[in-house]
């Protein structure tokens, strides 16, 4: 989305990464931009200020048919640019989309049984139902693989404990920071099997007895996203709702790698947004009798922002190429997430500086962009954790743990 009021200036996609898409993909991206311009951009700041999620726009979002683009024949580059473009307009909406489609719906594609897919996949893909991905816990974020405390216990008809439906699992524990968690219809819950210690996945109806959820309040970022604390107290889940394709945490790595790629694309979208807003402000804002853009230091800041943005797009185009080759491993993805999140932090800080005092109020968009960047810097592996993943890959020595 180039700045609409200054059409004669070059777009922030300075090296024309988008031109690498086919014509059909460019047309679909333009369709997405039209939707975002009409139905999201004018209202996103108000949703953010009020910490309200715009559920009413989901039918229009679903009508774009962008759920899990690879399963619809689109390229990996297109899938990434979809997330970047959504983030460019509203990071919270992009995060909802990522959680629902790239984690919940992708899980159904990857691990769902034929029966589970029949029951849920079409409705989830078309946003007639919404999903969440319940992995992180109150005391375990980056170390959740080894520290997971949520437990699953299987009871069968032979024990006298099961209900008439037959084999059942009983879940107990808590999850935290679960996006879409306050309103989702279903959630993919990860729990440790009490019998053998393996990590298993369950499709949990959010309305089941024993599920309680509360919104996390007082956030300074992604305020539109409805993050939840969720508690499971003797929640009974039928065996038919266990993901049979998951038997260990290793099975989650493909999902987490793919979602980390999309969060890295969010760093691109944040920088595109920051550059759009800062450049337009610099061209239009008068100080000392001339536009801000006249001053050399302002131009230097804008060029640094643009350089970071273009470099980030280039790295992510490289990740898309590796995905096409089946060669995008976690070290490559971790490098993109860590390095680009640092570039994003610099870019949005420069943008906020260019806006001066107006950069700290959401009326001018930059304050929202600046604040939302802090969430991206941390989730899907913090800057530090992703850096250590790359460090282990290039030295053969792990700095994790004792």
Q: Where are the domains of the chain?
A: 17-125, 131-248, 251-395
Across the range 203-219, mean pLDDT stands at 97
Whether the CB-CB separation of 213 and 194 falls below 8 Å is answered with no
Q: What are phi and psi of 153, to 5 degrees?
A: -125, 130
Q: Write down the pTM of the prediction.
A: 0.93
CATH fold group of domain 131-248: Butyryl-CoA Dehydrogenase, subunit A; domain 2 (2.40.110)
* Sign of the dihedral through C-alpha 219, 221, 224, 229: negative
Q: Any idea which of 52-61, 88-97, 159-168, 280-289 has the lowest mean pLDDT? A: 159-168
| pLDDT value at 204 more than 80 | yes
Q: Which residue has the tokens 């099975």?
A: 251
- Give the H or E element holding residue 85: helix 76-89
Contacts of 193 (CB under 8 A, 6+ apart): 152, 153, 154, 199, 200
| pLDDT value at 2 more than 70 | no
Whether the CB-CB separation of 189 and 150 falls below 8 Å is answered with yes
The CATH architecture of the domain made up of 251-395 is Up-down Bundle (1.20)
Q: What is the pLDDT of residues 264-280, one digit of tens each?
A: 999 999 999 999 999 99
| pLDDT value at 163 more than 50 | no
| pLDDT value at 122 more than 70 | yes
| pLDDT value at 283 more than 90 | yes
* Sign of the dihedral through C-alpha 103, 261, 317, 30: positive
Tell me which CATH code domain 17-125 carries: 1.10.540.10
């Amino acid at each position: 989305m180039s700045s609409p009021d200054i059409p004669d200036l070059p777009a922030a996609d300075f090296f024309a990464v988008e031109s690498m898409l086919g014509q059909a993909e460019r047309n679909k991206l333009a369709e997405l931009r039209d939707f975002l311009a009409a139905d999201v951009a004018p209202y996103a700041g108000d949703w953010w200020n009020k910490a309200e999620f715009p559920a009413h726009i989901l039918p229009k979002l679903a009508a774009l048919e962008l759920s899990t683009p690879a399963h619809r024949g689109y390229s990996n580059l297109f899938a990434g640019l979809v997330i970047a473009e959504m983030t460019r307009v509203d990071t919270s909406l992009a995060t909802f989309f990522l959680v629902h489609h790239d984690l919940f719906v992708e899980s159904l594609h990857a691990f769902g049984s034929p029966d589970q897919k029949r029951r849920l996949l079409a409705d989830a893909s078309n946003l007639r139902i919404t999903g969440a991905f319940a992995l992180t816990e109150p005391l375990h974020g980056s170390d959740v693989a080894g520290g997971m405390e949520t437990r699953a216990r299987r009871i069968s008809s032979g024990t006298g404990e099961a209900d008439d439906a037959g084999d059942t699992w009983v879940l107990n524990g808590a999850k935290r920071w679960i996006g879409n968690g306050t309103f989702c219809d279903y959630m993919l819950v990860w729990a440790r099997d009490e019998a053998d210690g393996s990590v298993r996945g369950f499709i949990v109806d959010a309305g089941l007895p024993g599920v309680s959820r509360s919104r996390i309040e007082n956030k300074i970022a992604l305020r539109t996203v409805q993050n939840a604390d969720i508690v499971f107290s003797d929640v009974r889940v039928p065996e038919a709702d266990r993901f049979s394709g998951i038997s260990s945490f290793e099975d989650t790595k493909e999902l987490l790698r793919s979602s980390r790629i999309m969060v890295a694309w969010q760093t691109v979208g944040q920088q595109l947004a920051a550059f759009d807003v800062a450049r337009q402000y610099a061209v239009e804002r008068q100080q000392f009798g001339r536009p801000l853009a006249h001053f050399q230091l302002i131009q230097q800041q804008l060029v640094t922002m643009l350089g970071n943005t273009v470099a980030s797009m280039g790295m992510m185009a490289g990740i898309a190429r590796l995905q096409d080759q089946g060669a995008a491993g976690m070290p490559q993805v971790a490098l993109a997430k860590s390095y680009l999140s640092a570039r994003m932090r610099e870019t949005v800080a420069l943008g906020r500086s260019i806006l001066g005092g107006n950069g700290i109020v959401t009326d001018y968009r930059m304050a929202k962009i600046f604040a939302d960047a802090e969430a991206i810097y941390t989730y899907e592996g913090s800057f530090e954790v992703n850096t250590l993943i790359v460090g282990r890959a290039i030295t053969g020595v792990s700095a994790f743990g004792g």
